Amino acid sequence: MEKLTLTIDGQKTTAEPGMTILEAAAAAGIYIPHLCHHPDLKPAGVCRVCMVEVEGRQALSCLAPAEDGMVVRTVSETIDQVRRIAVELLLVNHDGDCLSCAQNNNCQLQRVANYVGIDEDRLARLRRREKALPVDSSNPFFDLDHGKCILCGICVRTCDEIVGVNALDYGFRGVNTLISTFGNKGMKDSRCVSCGECVVRCPVGALVPKVFQTPSREVKTVCPYCGVGCSIYLGVRGDRLVSSRGATESPVNHGRLCVKGRFGYEFVNHPDRLTTPLIKKNGEFVEASWDEALDLVANEFSKRKGDQFASTASAKCTNEDNYVVQKFARAVMGSNSIDHCARL
């Protein structure tokens, strides 16, 4: 199908059929502030911040489809007022300690507030929430801070549309509305599988890892846990791993990870992790070179041919490597005792 042609703020741009106005603007490098939109999820139109004018009528750009010949304005006196009120109502009930927040300088609410412009005098006249909202720290990997939540629903939709667990939803009503588990239990006691998909999509600091450090560089690799082969970026700071995130360009996992791939990297930093081969001498393990260790293994293998030998293959290996493993076990070692980790 031919591309659509539309005008956004006087700039002619093209869009693919099926795109929304927000997606068309983003593709053209035009910023429309938004909070509840995420490219991985179906649009919901919750935050009302992405309001635009289409030929004199107001429309939510995340829901309105782009049409050929459409004329869109992203800035006007009316739109600015709508956005400013929506953002002010969020900020007045939001935790203002941004410097200590893990999402500082990466927070969508900060970006939107800076774009919209906030009048401190107007904000001071609004009635702040008196009660402190609770922090759910029951999950071993991340916290849910209701005081920083903007009720955008991205976590709810992520758990529904992507993970399919439905551990989160809106709870209570009116000013008491919270993102809640079933029965308002702690996250640890809910259906949550701790995959962290909601954490990486949260636009503010409501869902953050318990331990977080900004990496100085990232290294692309493959998750070491199972045979799926998910691509990940490991964050490195000095000589330590401090983060793990899925590679969105990977055709295997499309940026998604399980709890092990996202939070299970700490073993690399463990002080007791083996970094050199150990050989038992006089009843105790002592460090050895790789040549010494491999020579010992070869000698011991030669003494244990037949039923004394067994091999375990790995789903991380190629089919060819696994074929060689079973061939070595059967033809060289004379054993049919062969197993595979994918069976577990």
Dump pLDDT digits (tens) for 87-116: 988 888 888 788 888 898 899 999 999 999
CA distance 58 to 79: 8
CA distance 32 to 311: 58
pLDDT for res 326: 92
Q: At what angle do helices 77-91 and 108-116 cross, to 10 degrees?
A: 140
Helical H runs in 65-107?
Answer: 77-91
pLDDT for res 127: 64
pTM of this structure: 0.83
- CA trace torsion 113, 116, 121, 126 (10° rounding): -70
pLDDT for res 235: 96
Written as six digits, the tokens of 44 are 């919901």
Sign of CA dihedral 213, 214, 216, 219: positive
φ, ψ for residue 83, nearest 5 deg: -65, -45
pLDDT for res 131: 66
φ, ψ for residue 35, nearest 5 deg: -130, -35
The tens place of each residue's pLDDT in the chain, 344 residues long, gives 688 999 999 999 999 999 999 999 999 999 999 999 999 999 999 999 999 999 889 999 999 999 999 999 999 999 999 999 999 888 888 887 888 888 988 999 999 999 998 877 777 777 666 667 889 999 999 999 998 999 999 999 999 999 999 999 999 988 889 999 999 999 999 999 999 999 999 999 999 999 888 999 999 999 988 778 899 999 999 989 999 999 999 999 999 999 999 999 998 999 888 889 999 999 999 999 999 999 999 999 988 888 889 998 887 777 888 899 999 999 999 999 999 876 65
Nearest Cα neighbor of 268 from 229, 240, 243 is 240
* Residue 14 CA: distances (Å) to CA of 8, 23, 67, 135, 329: 10, 11, 10, 45, 61
What does the DSSP 8-state code read for residue 129?
P
Q: Which domains occur in the chain, in start order?
A: 4-125 (3.10.20.740), 215-267 (2.20.25.90), 304-344 (no CATH)
pLDDT digits (tens, 9 = 90+) for 153-169: 999 999 999 999 999 99
pLDDT for res 107: 93
Q: Which residues contact 90 (CB under 8 A, 6 or more apart)?
A: 35, 109, 150
Asked if residues 23 and 89 have their Cβ atoms less than 8 Å apart, the reply is no
Work out the burial of residue 195: count CB atoms within 10 Å of its CB; fewer than 13 is exposed, 13-18 middle, 19 or more buried. buried
